[in-house]
């Protein structure tokens, strides 16, 4: 059965929009206080194109989501999340199994790393996305284990020192705060788990 793209789109967008203030507060501690606004603007633009997106097959739909985020999200996170969704759209088959998702996510992470010239442990969204992709590829992942891992990895960015993005300008003062992009990635992963498990 193909994934329920309509619910995935609606729930991911709704959760990100609802978390705008929280994400902006995180970004005000170690950035320029716009991550929540950026993401909200991006996902409102995605919802504005909802009908056109849902008329497309999964791959094309995800590419459109990615292109919309690139165009509408200001800041570093727009091109980065845009690259993530566009690559997922390119790599995922119409009816993906967990192994397909793991492979596509690894491909998207490689593209994201190249785009942002970043790596793991730089205190970015990659520190949530990477471990989740590896976990999915390892076999035996459950919705609960994916949710727990994403939350744990977002929390694990707190003691990290930022090496990439605006937060890196703060040097050691970036330590002690959760990375906003890690938190937005966690929120999206949790939303996807909730929809696929039938909880949302
Ligand atoms: P900006 O930093 O331009 O204000 P946002 O505030 O929307 O953009 O996004 C900040 C988030 O983007 C960070 O919390 C981090 O997770 C992510 N990020 C920033 N630079 C990079 C990079 N080079 N590679 C991966 N992620 C990055
Ligand atoms: Mg910012």
Compute the mean pLDDT over every residue in the chain, rounded to the nearest whole number. Answer: 97
Say yes or no to pLDDT of 1 above 80.
no
The predicted-structure confidence for 59-101, as pLDDT tens digits, reads as follows: 999 999 999 999 999 889 999 999 999 999 999 999 999 999 9
CA of 137 to the centre of ligand 2 (A): 31
Which is the closest atom of ligand 1 to the Cα of 34?
6
SS3 142: coil
Say yes or no to pLDDT of 58 above 70.
yes
Contacts 24+ apart (CB under 8 A), 19-26: 19/183, 19/184, 19/187, 22/183, 23/180, 23/183, 23/184, 24/180, 26/177, 26/178, 26/179, 26/180, 26/183
Domain locations in the chain as residue ranges: 5-195
Give the number of other CB atoms < 10 A from CB of residue 182.
25
Say yes or no to pLDDT of 134 above 90.
yes
Q: Residue 6, Cα to own-chain centre: how many angstroms? A: 18
CA of 80 to the centre of ligand 1 (A): 8
Give the pocket of ligand 1 (CB within 6 Å).
27, 31-32, 34-35, 38, 75-77, 80, 116, 118, 124-126, 164-166, 179-182
CA of 119 to the centre of ligand 2 (A): 19
pLDDT at 106: 98
The residue whose C-alpha atom lies closest to atom 4 belonging to ligand 1 is 75
- Domain over 5-195 is classified CATH 3.40.50.720: no
The residue whose C-alpha atom lies closest to atom 14 belonging to ligand 1 is 181
Say yes or no to pLDDT of 160 above 70.
yes
The predicted-structure confidence for 109-127, as pLDDT tens digits, reads as follows: 999 999 999 999 999 999 9
pLDDT at 194: 97
pLDDT tier, 53 (very low <50, low <70, confident <90, very high otherwise) = very high
Say yes or no to pLDDT of 2 above 80.
no
The predicted-structure confidence for 8-29, as pLDDT tens digits, reads as follows: 999 999 999 999 999 999 999 9
| Contact by Cβ (8 Å): 193, 146 | yes
CA of 127 to the centre of ligand 1 (A): 12
Rounded to an integer, the average pLDDT of 122-151 is 97
SS (H, E, C) 15-64: HHHHCHHHHHHHHHHHCCCCHHHHHHHHHHHHHHCHHHHHCCCHHHHHHH
| Contact by Cβ (8 Å): 122, 163 | yes
């Amino acid at each position: 059965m193909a994934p329920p793209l309509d619910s995935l789109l609606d729930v991911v967008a709704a959760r990100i929009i609802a978390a705008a203030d929280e994400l902006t507060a995180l970004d005000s501690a170690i950035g320029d206080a716009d991550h929540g606004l950026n993401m909200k603007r991006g996902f409102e633009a995605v919802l504005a194109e909802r009908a056109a997106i849902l008329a497309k097959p999964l791959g094309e739909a995800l590419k459109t989501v990615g292109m919309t985020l690139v165009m509408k999200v200001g800041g570093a996170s727009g091109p980065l999340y845009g690259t993530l969704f566009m690559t997922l759209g390119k790599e995922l088959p119409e009816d993906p199994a967990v192994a397909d998702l793991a492979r596509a996510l690894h491909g998207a992470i490689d593209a994201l790393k190249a785009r942002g010239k970043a790596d793991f442990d730089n205190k970015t969204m990659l520190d949530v996305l990477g471990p989740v992709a590896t976990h999915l590829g390892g076999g035996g992942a459950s919705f609960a284990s994916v949710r727990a891992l994403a939350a744990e990895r977002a929390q694990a960015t707190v003691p990290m020192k930022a090496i990439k993005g605006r937060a890196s300008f703060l040097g050691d003062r970036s330590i002690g705060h959760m990375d906003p992009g890690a938190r937005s990635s966690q929120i999206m992963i949790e939303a996807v788990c909730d929809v696929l498990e039938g909880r949302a």
